[in-house]
Copies of this chain bind each other. A is one copy, B any other.
Amino acid sequence: MSDLLERLRGVVGAAHLLVDGDLGTWEVDWRKRWRGRALAVARPGSTAEVAQVVRLCAEHGTAIVPQGGNTGLVGGSVPDDSGRQLVLSLARLDRVRGLDAANMTLTLEAGCVLQRAQQAAADAGLLLALSLGAEGSCTIGGNLATNAGGTQVLRYGNAREQCLGLEVVTAAGEVWDGLTGLRKDNTGYDLRDLMIGSEGTLGIITAATMKLHPLPAAQLTALAACSDLSGCVALLELARQQLGASLTGFEVMGAPALALVAKHFPQLPRPLPDAAWTVLLECADAHSEVQARAAVEALLQSALERGHIGDAVLAESGAQSRALWHVRESIPLAQSLEGPNIKHDIALPVSAIAGFVARTDAALQAAFPGSRVINFGHLGDGNLHYNLQAAPGLQAQAFLDEHEASVNRIVYDAVVACNGSISAEHGIGALKRDELLERKSPVALAMMKAIKRALDPHGTLNPGRVLPG
């Protein structure tokens, strides 16, 4: 091993091969659910160095765990506890390689923090339309490796749809330069989309060319109160018809989720406090704020007349709009402050959501009386964060230890019965690997395993994540 470390040091430099001292930053995940022990942390400074590191590890049969901002929620970016896996941090590959305004593309390295990438686009008067809670620390490479979602998927798609080209280091340590800025390219198999979402198990993304969009002239945020989830779905359908592509966000928040925010962040505004469900919708307009405002007002008016919603407010300024989003984004943090909870990141056909929630809420209440479903998410994409908090008074951690598997069974059985997904945007990582093995179609699993063997025959890339190692 010391031979490998010596050679790695020769590649990345002594300052960038971390072996001693506190490696906690790289060994523990964001939720602090996964604590591993790394052989070392290598921080290469270029694609060529990444390739050399991978080749050396391949020679030594040493497993590699690629890591970006380490903000994942499924334990995909931290080492196991064997002390034999190398963490390969992409953090130093953080250059913006170029912005092509006429082609509306941005080429940048994997370690670029998402917010910096958004700013680079904005500086050129353009929009990088990927936005999520962790954007201040997550990186483009991680966003693509996990096919991140976020709050604008409804209009712009997941990270996959935002990406035109990739540069990837293969398991053999070769560099594939697929950094094209083309909207159309039918020259062979779709390696780009295969790499995206493969969580570092098929190759290591070192750079990407991302699509940019025109900055909208105006952006408006509204809240609407619904007495049931069917009302939210009806509002969504109406919003799609009336706003078309101007509808850029459609979030839903259940009353218990907003109650937690009110409890832990009493200083935040509480618009429409009595609603069973609150919709946050966002409208962007290419032309003018006046036009956007008229369109949203007309939408809310027709939704009121049809009885889909009971009340609504429209933010009067950018500051008000940000305040409404801040409430939405505070839900996960309020949940953490309330104590450990069982998280789900599920997707369903929009048409199945109201029925799913009614049935599953009831099944969970029957099995765990007093437990609280903290339900919120991206209704426009059919994506709910359907989380369970133990009944007040119970020891939350003890509840988790005892019941997590049973809770998951109830929720995931119901998801699968609706032809839904047990991981909409967070990925599989280590957390959901066994669940995937149990629930994914055996034909699909067999294809996945065959592809893994084909592209990583020695199984050194992030082993044990997505598929068994």
Please list the residues of chain A having a beta carbon within 8 angstroms of any beta carbon in chain B.
100-105, 146-147, 149, 153-155, 157-158, 160-161, 170, 174-191, 193-194, 196-198, 202, 214, 216, 233, 237, 240-246, 284-287, 291, 295, 347-352, 378, 381-383, 419-428, 432, 436, 440-441, 443-448, 450-455, 466-467
Contact = CB atoms under 8 A, between A and B. Distances in A.
15 contacts: A100-B349, A104-B350, A147-B186, A149-B186, A153-B184, A170-B447, A181-B349, A182-B420, A183-B383, A184-B383, A185-B423, A188-B466, A189-B194, A216-B244, A291-B291
Contacts of A447: 170, 176, 189, 191, 455
Contacts of A176: 441, 443-444, 447
A243 B286 contact: yes
B451 A185 contact: no
Given A193-B193, A419-B181, A425 B186 contact: yes
B381 A183 contact: yes
Given A176-B444, A243-B286, A202 B189 contact: yes
B242 A348 contact: no
Contacts of A444: 176, 178, 188, 191
A195 to B, nearest CB: 9
Contact of A245 (B246, B382, B422): B246
A424 B245 contact: no
Contacts of A160: 190, 193
Contacts of A182: 347-349, 382, 420-421, 424
Report the 10 A-B pairs with minimum CB-CB distance, sorted nearest first.
Answer: A244-B286, A245-B245, A193-B193, A102-B351, A454-B454, A450-B454, A184-B424, A185-B421, A176-B443, A183-B381
A103 B186 contact: no
Nearest to A354: B102
Contacts of A175: 443
Contacts of A242: 286-287
Given A240-B214, A286-B244, A443-B176, A149 B184 contact: yes
